[in-house]
Amino acid sequence: MGARYSHFRLETNDMKFAKKLSLSLSLAAAMAVSAHAQDAQAKFTLPHQAHLGEAVLPAGEYTVTLSMEGVTKAIIVPGSRTGAGMIALPVNTDEYASCKGTSVSMQRDGSEWKVTSICFAEAQTALYFAAPAEKAAVASATPAPVAIAGAR
């Protein structure tokens, strides 16, 4: 019978410390990434019926939730939880926005209003939305946007 050898690895205190440090740094990085991608939520009131892309939102109270999982999107639900909700995809996202407060910006085009952006102060993220398709090709002088303050 031949001799049997058992292989084992000795770990020094320095190796154990390096493994623990590496694991701690990995966990900290994962938490930082997930904290930035956390959903933000805001409540706002539209004083006028407004277009958001191709959809029309009646005047009233809404809750909007920012979701950055996969595709960045805004999930908009009527404040009363009755009626249709919607998912709005922005044409542009600014993940380093410096909003002083959570707000919804609207712009008037003739007799119609459109939501142009939603800015989430806590998440430092702004979402910008396209004009409805039939209005996008029409060039016109546009008045200054109106900001509506939101609440968390």
Domain assignment of residue 130, yes or no: yes
Measure Cα distances from 10 to 4, 16, 64, 101 in Å.
Answer: 19, 10, 55, 56
Q: Is residue 103 part of a domain?
A: yes
The pLDDT assigned to 28 comes to 44
- Asked if the structure places residue 24 within a domain, the reply is no
Residue 75 located in a structural domain: yes
Which helix H or strand E contains 20, and what residues bound it? Answer: helix 13-36
How is residue 15 written in tokens?
């190796």
85 belongs to a structural domain: yes
The predicted structure's pLDDT at residue 144:
57
**Beta-strand runs (E) in 2-149:** 40-46, 50-52, 55-57, 60-67, 73-78, 86-88, 92-94, 103-109, 112-120, 125-128, 146-149
Give me the chain's average pLDDT, please.
Answer: 76
- Amino acid at site 120: F
How many angstroms separate the CA atoms of 152 and 43, rounded? 6
Q: What is the pLDDT of residue 15?
A: 58
Radius of gyration of the chain (CA): 25
pLDDT of residue 6: 53
Residue 47, token pair as written in the block: 């004083």
Which residue type is seen at 125?
T
Q: Please tell me the total count of domains within the chain.
A: 1
Please say whether the beta carbons of 87 and 129 come within 8 A: no
pLDDT score recorded for residue 46:
92
Q: Which domain holds residue 82?
A: 38-149
- Which tokens is 112 given? 């119609």
Residues of the chain with pLDDT under 70: 1-38, 133-152
The position carrying tokens 């909007």 is 64
What is the rounded CA–CA span in Å between residue 70 and residue 126?
A: 17
pLDDT at 25: 45
pTM: 0.62
- Residue 4 domain-assigned (yes or no): no
**Strands ordered across the beta sheet of 40-46:** 40-46, 60-67, 73-78, 86-88
pLDDT for residue 99: 85
